Structure 1
Amino acid sequence: MEREMPDKSVVVNLNEFERTRRVQVSPEIVSALHNCRDLLIEGSTRVLTRQSEAMENALLAMAERAPLLETRNSYYAAQSTLNKRANELLSACKDAYCTRFNDFAHARDKAAGADMLELSLVDDQDFEITLVVDKATSRLRYNCAEELVALDARMAHLMGRSDLSENDNPLGPRALCEALLEGIGRVQSEQHVKIVLLNQFDLALTTELAHIYQSINRALIERGVLPDLKVGAKSRAQPSGAQGAPASGGTPQAAGADPGSDIFRLFEQLAGGGGLVPGAAGGYPGGGAGHGFGAGFSLVDSLGQLQTGSILLPDGGRFTLPLAEAATIQNVLRSLQRSPVMQAASPLDAVLVDAVAMLFDVVFDEASVPDRLKAQIARLQIPVLKAAMLDRNFFSQPNHPVRRMLDAIATLAVHLPDNEAGNARLDAISEVVSRVLDGFEQDVAIFAFAATQLEAMGTLLDDTLDRTADAGLQHEIDEIKQAERAELAPVIVHDFINRALKDQPVADTMREFLRRDWAQLLTRDYLQEGETGAHFNSHVETMRELVWSVQPKADMDARLMLVRILPGLLKRLREGVAEIDLPQKLSDHFFATLVILHANAVRPNAQPVPLPDISPEDIAELTPAAEAAWNGTASTAVGSDLEPTAVEIEDEFTARARALNKGDWVEFHYDDGTFRWARLGWISGVKNTYLFSDQDGMNSFSIGLHRLADKLRRGEAVLVERKSITESAFGKLLNLFRQKLGVA
């Protein structure tokens, strides 16, 4: 227990000193930090999920080439962990990173004396781990050098520090690698397997992490954190001149903020042109005098009244907009433009009204947003216009709260199946929209709060769908894998046998046994477990030992080795022969031959003992019975309801199908005029079979690559891009206004 110091004591209580020295982090900074944290770890886990099958294939290839059994086992164990526990593994990595990051964000210091405790000897395992983390960190930092210079500076500025070393940045590669290693350790405790998995994660992230850091830099720029810092803001996918320019009024905009970066300048040009925009003063007969609006007229105040009901005109009449009901899609801003309210508006205000009206026209034409969601967006027309009048950053900032809310609503389209669950989700969206309609006056923060709620809803639904679909598709995935293994089994098995026999002087009887009889056992193992299965590899190893055992043994060491392994080898061979129900006569002939081959292998003279004979007629008579079980197994695995084949054409549609990743959505259209959305849940790396599930992750179907490409080619399938509808709309809007002005 600490003793309290006297009031006049000259002794400094170091614990109290450390508490007072800590920087108090504001809620705004914590929010920015959490946003950056989520961008990094969510982006990284998405990349790793997308690359999981490629990592598995790489591990299998490395295991095949590895000369040492221990190394091969590490690769196989890592591949098995990825194959069976990928979701658990990535979830553990995400949790580990968030915990570490939160400790930093909340300034949780190490316990007193922790630094002293760290001055201890490091054992070989810890040293090896340190080297691996250092190597992974260096590789990632090298590929993200430009982005990290800017990110280190912005994080230092955000935390009120003069500088921030590269390894102290909680968003840096070292913090990420250490968290990934910790998460891997929660699922896989074996040291070498953890190292193998970390190396694979590092390689998968090497080419993708720079883009994630670019998005974090853009997010910090939008929050005003060193917006003029040029380093690291450049997009690799765009020319260097595509940086966002400051909008009128000197407010710096986010890098890559096109098309909004110069849109307001076009508005001002249009307003100065006079008569170009319907609704501008002078644009209607009589100008603004017909209804006697005074000089103190405020369009924003009028919008506030229209948001809650009607507006009182100077002549005593009332003007009310058509109701934007949840069941209708109507651009009420067009009615506003034709109203007497607009006759007293300034030219620039009239341009802004026209711009927002055109924005909603584009959104309402967006085919990827269903009508019942468009109806919810339609309810927000007056609040959105009012917000745009109050905060003109709406036109230039892609991450503006109002635009975030509209985008969040549109993104939820994939989670609205036409059933009870979809209707309940639509009701929840409607409640959020109603709160904005009732509560918005001047502060656009209400849109930010609503956007956060909707985004959280989308994230929760995505996560729930991931878990539901992964569980629901597992049976179909297993069936497809087994069917593909059945097709590949003869090729794979005979390849293993040929490699075992390559350049080995083996009697024809032994070759025939391996290719005719032992191949049945290997095929059965491959169908059940695949190439990495324990039984398959055990029987392959038995085959290799068998081939070695019948080779001539010129020295005593080789003969002693044969004596040691022979009892176990014969035991495994008899068990294998029993598994495939080899006829007794064939079995007896094989083992009699094997005895002579082993005797010949250790004979000091060159005169071999002749092998026992069996007539070809006996073999032909017995072989069909031995193969019957294998033929039945293979036919069962392949199944009878195979998908019809499609013509293999390599074009842009095939490329689009190949580019699909797990979690992408496709809209399938049918002859009766109906359509349904399907989410891609799994892609076979062997035959490019795509497995889809519906919006609830329940019903599933599979389709081949070229058949899917053919549907895309015919318009029977359309890729659903979960993009920002407001960004897309502003791009079209910018082109429209440029056409009005005759700007190229």
Structure 2
Amino acid sequence: MEREMPENSVVVNLKQFERSRRAQVSAEALSILHGCRDLLIEGTTRVLTRQSEAMENTLLAMADRSPLLDTRNSYYSAQGILNTRANELLSACKDAYCQTFNDFAHNREKPAGGELLELSLLDDQDFEITLVIDKATSRLRYNCAEELVALDARIAHLLSRSDLSENDSPLGPRVLCEALLDGISRMQLEQAIRIVLLNQFDLVLTTELAHIYQSINRYLIDRGILPDLKVGAKSRAQGTAPNSAGAAGPAPAMQGQTGGDMFKLFEQLAHSGSAAGGGGAGGASAGLAGFSLLDSLGQLKSGAMMLPGGGRFELPLLEAATIQNVLRSLQQSPVMQAASPLDAVLVDAVAMLFDVVFDDAAIPDHLKAQIARLQIPVLKAAMLDRNFFSQSNHPVRRMLDAIATLAVHLPDNEAGNARLEAISQVVSRVLDSFEKDITVFDSAAVELEAMGSLLEETLEEIVDASLQQDIAQIKQSERAELAPVIVHDFINRALNKEQPVVDALREFLRRDWAQLLTLDYVNEGEQGAHFNSHVETMRELVWSVQSKADMDARLMLVRILPGLLKRLREGVAEIDLPQKLSDRFFATLVILHANAVRPNAQPVPLPDITPEAIEELAPAPTAAEAATSEPESEAAPEVEDEFNLRARALNKGDWVEFHYDDGTFRWARLGWASSVKNTYLFSDQDGMNSFSISQLRLADKLRRGEAVLVERKSITESAFGKLMNLFRQKLGHA
């Protein structure tokens, strides 16, 4: 609702003035515009119809994982709407968009709720809807940036409207999202269900909308609307291919020079009028004379920014737990009408950086809130130092990366709260002291990096100490599992075919001595002194009963025999071999040794004993002992996939986020990995609690989404990689 101005008022209602200044859309332009409308809404509804079943499956899966009853019911209700009323829903969305489009085409204004003259407080529900619309719009615009640059330019040219902003374009993502929400609202659904449905529509359109915008650009080119503008009409695969000439590109530049090149890119973008925000017609003007956005940003520290003409602008208040991209508010404010096109590009670039950071699920909300406090200082630093966008070791970027890296060291306890408070104090010092000296960020980055290094070293020491007992238990458990196979192999090598052994000795080694080797291996491993001593005793025993044809061999037997018999008696005592079996074995051994030293004489026969008698004397073998007679068959190898490869590639010190059925999650640090059975031992953020998991089980959790690898890479490097590609695409340089 517009207020009538008094007749003697000297205040000009800019909205009425602008509306009266607009030219009526010609019939030819209106026809082309309607064609664009049909391509957009028909393509959108076609995509949503095709993906309806996929959205239903997604909602059911989300409902199954949700720990909250209300949230789960919202997912189920939204799935039910898609299952039973999808056609009605999409028809309502189509009608809502067409109505919005027709209002624009006939210069009918939006409802008065958006008028700047009538400000009112939003209730929680309206605020939530606004946030959902903003996020959906930002995601779609980000993924369709190249196509929208061209489309916005063509629509502005078609309508002769240099003042047409990206959010007011009838074909833009914001108008589309608002119309979709309007159509959903016409179904008389609860707000939670409306938000769920809009989010699902947005996720589907994120990957599909660019193709629709490409078709609209081609439609406009065919009708002579800026046919020489070469971006936005080709598919990404074609549009991003390098030129055949000079495909290798220029040689790498020094970092400072690269920063200059990037800044030139922004200057070109500003001159082309592709930036969001001010700049006037075509974005080519220099902004309002006498106004400096950089100088004015300092006023926000003390309160409001004074605008030319006496106006005031205040950013939303950021409280301790607030996560809000205030730079987006700055973009939509009257400030940008006075700012230069280059300033508008820089604001958009830094705002996109914070969009990426705030969307990063690996950064907890309480840490994002600290990063959010730095938005205005980071914007000022970016405007002061062009190398901010190109140097990965820039002080501002190092500070942001250092804060994000500390996420894994902030457990939900007293220690974590103390560390968060220390981070908050560093951020506060930057806010208080930064004006134009970038070294303020350098000092903060050094302090935060030192904090991270100290926490990492301390955690390493705690984990190494606390995990020793667990590691020992896991190793022993793994050795117990492997012992039957290992012992069986050692006995087989001792009983080689070149040295024939009587059945009585073979039975003793496989049945009795194997027990001793198994105990040694489980307790000490293959390198243990007892295990190796008893293996050597076994080898000497086998050699001692072989025929000794020459005097040297006989003398050698005489020398080693006392020690061999002593070790054998100690061994059978250690395994509690029944006395009758022990006596019979040593009696048999006397005969075998006697036969060995007189090979040409008639051998003395061994005492007879039936298998039944041995079974009566010998204790029942354990499962491990029984397994020494036959090794376990190897399990079939696991089918390789990306999740197995990810699990196998983990290194000590890597972090994994584990999700549980009740909706909770925890971060765990890999403290040790077994090379024997591929068992991983993780500890919590304090290093005080631990748990083990096999590599295959971890891969399965990764596959199911119950575990997520925490990538501790530079958040600014990742964000600016996307950012630079996006801006290059805007100018057709990709």
TM-score of the two chains, using structure 1 as the length reference: 0.61
Match of 1:185 in 2: none
> How far apart are the structure 2 equivalents of 1:628 and 1:734?
66
The answer for the alignment partner of 1:322 in structure 2 is: 316
User: Which residue of structure 2 aligns with residue 664 of structure 1?
Assistant: 654
Letter in structure 1 aligned against 2:270: A
Matched-pair contact (CA < 8 Å) for 1:333–1:353: yes
1:224-373 alignment to 2 at 5 Å?
244-246=252-254, 251-253=256-258, 263-274=262-273, 276-282=274-280, 294-295=289-290, 297-373=291-367
Does the C-alpha gap of structure 1 residues 305 and 736 become closer, same or farther in structure 2, counting only changes over 3 Å?
A: same
1:541 aligns with 2:549: no
Change (3 A) 1:648 1:514: same
Could you tell me how far 1:559 is from its partner in structure 2? Answer: 1.4
Residue 402 of structure 1, CA deviation: 0.3
Kept in 2: contact 1:245–1:261 (CA 8 A): no
Give a deviation string over 1:110-168, Cα, whole Å, max 9, x none.
xxxxxxxxxxxxxxxxxxxxxxxxxxxxxxxxxxxxxxxxxxxxxxxxxxxxxxxxxxx
1:438 aligns to what? 432
1:245 to 1:411, Cα distance in 2 relative to 1, 3 A: same
Residues in 2 aligned to 1:738 and 1:314: alpha-carbon distance in whole angstroms: 33
1:701 aligned partner: 691
Structure 2 matches for 1:414-433, cutoff 5 A? 414-433=408-427
1:586 is matched with: 581
Q: Matched residues in 1 for 2:307 and 2:284: separation?
A: 16
Provide the rounded CA distance (Å) in 1 between the counterparts of 2:694 and 2:472.
16
Q: Which amino acid in structure 1 is aligned with residue 588 of structure 2?
A: T
Assess, with a 3 A threshold, how the Cα gap between structure 1 residues 298 and 365 changes in structure 2: closer, same or farther: same
Asked if the contact 1:551/1:601 (under 8 Å) is kept, the reply is yes
Fraction of identical pairs, as percent:
79
Q: Which has the higher contact order (CA 8 A, sep 6+)?
A: 2
Give the drift of 1:507.
1.6
Q: Write the mapping of 1:110-509 to structure 2, written as runs, cut at 5 A.
A: 244-246=252-254, 251-253=256-258, 263-274=262-273, 276-282=274-280, 294-295=289-290, 297-502=291-496, 503-509=498-504
* Matched residue, 1:153: none
Q: Call closer, same or farther: CA 1:514–1:241 in 2, change over 3 Å.
A: farther
**Matches of 1:397 and 1:617, distance apart in 2:** 82
Please tell me the residue identity of whatever aligns with 1:562. L
Whether contact under 8 Å (2:679, 2:695) holds in the other structure is yes
Q: 2:675 aligns with which of 685, 688, 694?
A: 685
Q: 1:312 to 1:286 in 2, by over 3 A?
A: farther
RMSD of the alignment, in Å? Answer: 2.7
The 1:604/1:332 distance shift into structure 2, 3 A limit, reads closer
1:446: how far off?
Answer: 1.2
* SS of residue in 1 equivalent to 2:666: strand
Letter of the 1:729 counterpart? A
Q: CA deviation at 1:631?
A: 6.6
Counterparts in 2 of 1:574 and 1:629: CA distance versus 1, 3 Å: farther
How far apart in 1 are the matches of 2:488 and 2:647?
A: 33
User: Is the contact between residue 670 and residue 716 of structure 1 (CA under 8 Å) also seen in structure 2?
Assistant: yes
Question: Equivalent of 2:525, from 525, 530, 555?
Answer: 530
1:362–1:729: 8 Å Cα contact kept in structure 2? yes
Q: CA deviation at 1:630?
A: 7.5
**Contact between 1:416 and 1:425, CA under 8 Å: does it hold in 2?**
yes
CA contact (8 A) 1:646 1:706 kept: no
Identify if the C-alpha distance between structure 1 residues 264 and 284 changes in structure 2 by more than 3 Å, giving closer, same or farther. Answer: closer
Distance in 1, Cα, partners of 2:261 & 2:584: 88
CA–CA distance in 1 between the matches of 2:638 and 2:375? 48
Given candidates 720, 733, 736, the residue that maps to 2:710 is 720
Counterpart amino acid of residue 245 in structure 1: A
Q: Distance in 1 between matches of 2:416 and 2:251?
A: 40
280-289 vs 404-413, which moves further: 280-289
Going from structure 1 to structure 2, the CA distance change for 1:429 and 1:240 (only over 3 Å counts) comes to: farther
Which residues in structure 2 correspond to 1:18-97 (within 5 Å)?
none
Once residues 488 and 464 of structure 1 are traced to their aligned partners in structure 2, the CA distance between those partners, rounded to angstroms, is 35
For residue 265 of structure 1, report the CA deviation from its aligned partner.
Answer: 3.3
Question: Where do 5+ consecutive residues of structure 1 fail to align?
Answer: 1-238, 254-259, 635-644
Cα drift, residue 286 of structure 1: 14
In the alignment, the residues of structure 2 paired with residue 667 and residue 466 of structure 1 have an alpha-carbon distance, to the nearest angstrom, of: 18
Q: Distance in 2 between matches of 1:299 and 1:661?
A: 47
Question: After superposition, what is the alpha-carbon deviation per residue over 1:652-707, rounded to whole angstroms, capped at 9, x for unaligned?
Answer: 11111111111111111222222211111122222212221211112222222222
Q: 1:562 aligns with which of 533, 551, 557?
A: 557
TM-score, normalised to structure 2, is 0.62
**Is the alpha carbon distance of 1:315 and 1:549 closer, same or farther for their aligned partners in structure 2, counting shifts above 3 Å?**
same
Aligned to 2:196: none
Aligned pairs, number = 481
Check 1:375–1:242 CA distance in 2 against 1; reply closer, same or farther (3 A cut): farther
2:572 corresponds in structure 1 to 577
Gaps of 5+ in 2: 1-246, 629-634
SS at match of 2:327: helix
Query: Quick check: 2:673–2:680 contact (8 Å CA) kept in 1?
Result: yes
How far 1:378 moved relative to its partner? 0.6
* 3-state secondary structure, aligned to 2:619: helix
- Structure showing greater radius of gyration is 2
